[in-house]
Amino acid sequence: MASEIKEGTLDLINHLPILQVITPMLIAPILVVLNNKTLSWLLSFLGALACLFISVLLIQTVSDGSTLTYSLGGWAPPIGIEYRIDAANSILLFLISIISVIVLIFSYSSLHVEIPEEKHTLFYACFLLCLTGLLGVVATADIFNVFVFLEISSLSTYVLVAQGSYLDRRALSASFNYLIMGTIGATFFVIGIGYIYMATGSLNMMDIAERVSELGDSRTVQAGFAFIVVGMGLKLAMVPLHVWLPNAYTFAPTVVTCFLAATATKVALYVLIRFVFSVFNYEDSFVNELFFFLIMPLAIIAMIAASVIAIFKQNLKKMFAYSSLAQIGYMLLGLSLVSEKGLASSLVHMVNHGFTKAALFMSLGAFMLNTKNVYINSLQGLGRSMPFTSAAFVIGGLSLIGVPGTAGFISKWLLLEAALGSGYWLVAVLIIVSSLFAVIYIWKIIEVLYFSESSESYSEVNVLTLTPIWILSFFCIFLGINTSLTVEVANMAAEILFK
């Protein structure tokens, strides 16, 4: 399909890409000035809602395969900063915005348990900055701009993770480790950008792509690629570089864990995808070799090893952190097949897993409001005393396993199809094996929830807390039945990236 570039006849459509990013950024300082915790919640919520609205508009605009461009400050692209929205990033913008809205609903009731009240305003400001960063990374087509937004989101993430220290001091060391790893990742990334700039003299993705193909076999560009892959590998928690993730997810406040698990790693993966397909040439042998010899084996190791580790975890947040690593393995696997189907399955899994994992972490958060911790033994018999939360949890769990009728099935099916389509039979078997491990750890929890007697009785959480959980569970089912939003957009995105 030929992709035509929309100049935007409507004024509003024309400015949507920047509005998407700048709305939360503008609200953040206002929160700090107002310094009122209820008002900050309300403003953040409205801001996130506005982002969601804009992202829906964007997705509609580009869903016909077109691309929407925006030149920041009116400077034409190769020199000025350009924002480019197409099918691939519009779907991620949507994911990030909607998760932020849902998470903010949940934060209204959960935050006061986890964070002292005087910090709430600053927390929301940080949250909005993180949101800005993630949206910006996805929207921009300027590689240095990617770095800037990545740092905005990362720096605020470190702060957000550290907020868990009011419940558990280990959040501080987790955040510190994350800070070190994240900074190294960002440094590698910016070194990579430096190499590319050195070789091509440009920072605009489209422009670089042209110049790179003119350069031919350039060692500088290849070294730049290596640094970018490792830098993003750190951010997206590719297996040997994942060490920061389990602790950061475990000790961060529930809201933060939900938000990060659903979005942050996906954004890093998106950057990797964008660089591979829009900046470098995916047909180059060095890209293919890297994917075949390194990324694919690492993805498979992540799929299997992280799932096995998850089985033995008693702390459920940690269990699902490891399960996230395995899921990232699926996405990397889809990418490393370097086929249109594989890429599409990767993109779909990003969205589906975002909703699934958010639903799981959020229902864990709801359990935690009652039990104060999420060790597997403290959940005994909660299936009876908290039936709605537990049911939502089970739906999320089924989706994580990939039971037909849930979102997880769609992406796993696509991934299987892609793996078999590329002739990797063994890989397909390993995908199934890893799903079976997921059955084990999910079943362990279901057994505790429903088949053991509870020592204490708790009451169900209030409706306001249940609403976001059930919205997410609803998506887990809805995306498993109606695939027009995910699969079609992802197929289109894969087509655009592969052209």
Which of the stretches 44-52, 98-106, 301-309, 375-383 binds another protein when contact is defined by CB under 8 A?
301-309
Tell me the CA distances in angstroms from 271 to 88, 131, 389, 393, one per residue in order: 11, 16, 34, 31
One character per residue 104-123, x = contact with another protein (rule: CB under 8 A): --------------------
In 3D space, the residue among 358, 361, 377, 371 whose CA is nearest the CA of residue 461 turns out to be 371
Instruction: Decide if residue 233 touches another protein (CB under 8 A).
Output: yes
Q: Residue written as tokens 């970018």? A: 228
In our burial notation (b when 16+ CB lie closer than 10 A, e otherwise), range 25-54 reads bebbeebeeeeebeebbebbbebbbbbbbb
CB 320 within 8 A of CB 364: yes
The candidate with the shortest Cα–Cα distance to 258, out of 55, 105, 146, 388, is 105
Using alpha carbons only, give the angle 354, 160, 149 rounded to the nearest 5 degrees.
Answer: 70
Q: Binding to another protein by residue 125, rule CB under 8 A? A: no
Kindly state the greatest CA–CA separation across the chain. 70
CB burial of residue 144 (10 Å; 0-12, 13-18, 19+):
middle
CB of 436 to another protein, least distance (A): 8
Nearest distance from residue 495's CB to another protein, in Å?
A: 14
Show the tokens assigned to 464: 């306001």
- Give 29 or 297: the residue with its C-beta nearer to another protein: 297
Positions in 477-496 near another protein (CB under 8 A): 483, 487
Interface with another protein (CB under 8 A), residue from 440, 451, 456, 462: 451
- The DSSP element (H or E) to which 494 belongs, if any, is helix 489-498
Rg (CA), the chain: 21
C-alpha span between 371 and 378 (Å, rounded): 7
Could you tell me if 225 and 234 are in contact, meaning their C-beta atoms sit under 8 angstroms apart?
no
225 near another protein (CB under 8 A): yes
Is the Cβ of residue 126 or residue 374 nearer to another protein in the bound state? 374
CB of 15 to another protein, least distance (A): 36
Could you tell me which residues are beta bridge partners of residue 140? 83
> Please, what is the minimum distance in Å from the beta carbon of residue 348 to another protein?
10
Number of residues that bind another protein (CB under 8 A): 48
Q: Which is nearer to another protein, 30 or 243 (CB)?
A: 243
> Binding pattern to another protein, positions 347-386, x when CB under 8 A?
----------------------------------------
Taking the least distance from each CB to another protein, the nearer of 51 and 309 is: 309
Residue 268-287 contact track with another protein, rule CB under 8 A, x = bound: ------------------x-
Nearer to another protein, 363 or 491 (CB): 491
Q: Are 419 and 431 in contact (CB under 8 A)?
A: yes
Single out the residue of 346, 379, 197 nearest to residue 273, CA to CA. Answer: 346
Q: Which is nearer to another protein, 115 or 171 (CB)?
A: 171
At its nearest, how many Å lie between another protein and the CB of residue 180? 5
What is the rounded CA–CA span in Å between residue 90 and residue 59? 5
Q: Are 97 and 42 in contact (CB under 8 A)?
A: no
Give the residue among 209, 212, 280, 266 at the shortest CA–CA distance from 94: 266
Q: Which of 89, 132, 247, 345 binds another protein (CB under 8 A)?
A: 247
- Which member of 93, 141, 208, 234 binds another protein (CB under 8 A)? 234
What residues numbered 309-328 form the site for another protein, per CB under 8 A? 309, 312-314
Q: Indicate the residue among 246 and 334 with the shorter CB distance to another protein.
A: 246
Q: Give least dist CB 29 to another protein, A.
A: 33
Measured in residues, the chain has a length of 499
Binding mask 175-214 for another protein (x = CB under 8 A): -xx--xx--x---x--------------------------
Other Cβ atoms closer than 10 A to 260: 28
244 binds another protein (CB under 8 A): yes
Residue with Cβ nearer another protein (53 or 282)? 282
Of 39, 57, 72, 308, the one binding another protein (CB under 8 A) is: 308
Pairing of strands 67-71, 82-85: antiparallel
Site string for another protein, 399-428 (x = CB under 8 A): ----xxx----x--xx-xx--xx-------
Instruction: Tell me which residues touch another protein (CB under 8 A).
Output: 176-177, 180-181, 184, 188, 219, 222-223, 225-227, 229-230, 233-234, 240-241, 243-244, 246-247, 286, 289-290, 293-294, 305, 308-309, 312-314, 403-405, 410, 413-414, 416-417, 420-421, 432, 436, 451, 483, 487
